[in-house]
Structure 1
Amino acid sequence: MTWWAAVLGFVGALAGSWGGQLIASRREDRRWDRERDREEVRWQRERNRLDDQRRHEFQLDWRERKLAAFGDFLAGLDQALSAAMHARETALEKIGFVYVYGPKELTHDEIVENLKSGSARMSGESGELLSLSLKIGI
């Protein structure tokens, strides 16, 4: 009976050791899985944050480019309109029309009086083009 007790004790110790290792191994595998999942979530959050940051920087850059392009367009348009107005005024002056620039408060009689007094062009505070063109005799 002592042999059987010794063999049973040895087998029990061996089975307990293997069982303990198996339980510890499973526990360690679950811990690794949880840690891996946490790391994956953390990396996904970091990727999302970087994607959002890049998207925001791209939108800011795109906005700046659109504003610069629109500003260039408006500057070109202003130059073209100024050149067209100058060419129109020059052509109209050659045939005897004079455009009068001045504040909108001037009346028709005041404009005619200023033109008769020798001022072919008037510059006022507002500098807006009046919709008046007069045929003057040269």
Structure 2
Amino acid sequence: MTIWLAIIGVLGTLGGGWGSQLIAAKRELAREKQKIDSAREDHWRDQRLAAYTEFMITLDKFMVATNGISGMLERLKTHDVRSEIRAEIEKISQLREEAGVKMAAMEIRGTMPVLNAASVALSRLVSLRPKTQDYFLAIADKNSTSETVNQAEQEFNQEHDLFNKSRYEVAKEIRKELLLNEE
């Protein structure tokens, strides 16, 4: 009987040691998996942040380019700014294309709330470009009546405000996603 108790004791000790090792190994695997998942999340968060930042920079460049109209109005009184206007229209067209490319990068990395807001901003940017061109051309055309210029300005300002609001919504969604809310 004593021998059986000794054998059972040895087997219990070996089984307990082996069981402890198995439990410790499972815990270590869970910790490693959590580290890998965390690193993956950090990587994609960084990728999204980079894509979002590039898109927002492009929207800001577009905003600056369209805001240049007021300076041209002043220069128009004393100078012929038609070549400047053509250059600005070309710049705005390039920025629209650039925003489309940045949006494609966001579609790969971004989340739906940000993508939805960015899509609205991009469509507003696309709508704003012809209004900006019409306004620029109305300013440059010496034959334009003040009514034509005022109408073009009003349409431009409405579309510009909508674009600016949609740009703000994109930034708000990005802050929300990246947990950067100041609220």
TM-score under structure 1 normalisation? 0.55
Q: Which structure: greater helix fraction? A: 2
Aligned length: 88
Matches within 5 A, 1:75-114: 75-89=58-72, 91-97=73-79
The CA deviation string for residues 5-59 of structure 1, in whole angstroms up to 9 with x for no partner, is: xxxxxxxxxxxxx111100111111011100111112111111110110011000
Equivalent in the alignment of 2:25:
42
AA paired with 1:72?
F
Larger Rg: 1
The CA deviation string for residues 63-91 of structure 1, in whole angstroms up to 9 with x for no partner, is: 011111111110110000011114421x1
- Supply the distance in 2 between the matched residues of 1:54 and 1:69 (Cα, whole angstroms): 22
Give 3-state SS (helix, strand or coil) of 2:68's partner: helix
> Are 1:67 and 2:45 matched, yes or no?
no
- Supply the distance in 2 between the matched residues of 1:61 and 1:43 (Cα, whole angstroms): 27
Q: Sequence identity of aligned pairs in percent?
A: 4
Structure 2 residue corresponding to 1:52, chosen from 35, 39, 60:
35
Give 3-state SS (helix, strand or coil) of 2:55's partner: helix
Equivalent in the alignment of 1:103:
none
AA paired with 1:96?
T
Structure 2: tracts of 5 or more residues without a match: 88-183
Matches within 5 A, 1:123-134: none
- Supply the distance in 2 between the matched residues of 1:44 and 1:98 (Cα, whole angstroms): 75
Q: Which structure: greater strand fraction? A: 1
Runs of 4+ in structure 1 displaced over 6 angstroms?
none
Q: CA-atom RMSD, angstroms?
A: 2.7
TM-score under structure 2 normalisation? 0.42
- Supply the distance in 2 between the matched residues of 1:98 and 1:70 (Cα, whole angstroms): 37
Structure 1: tracts of 5 or more residues without a match: 1-17, 100-119, 124-138
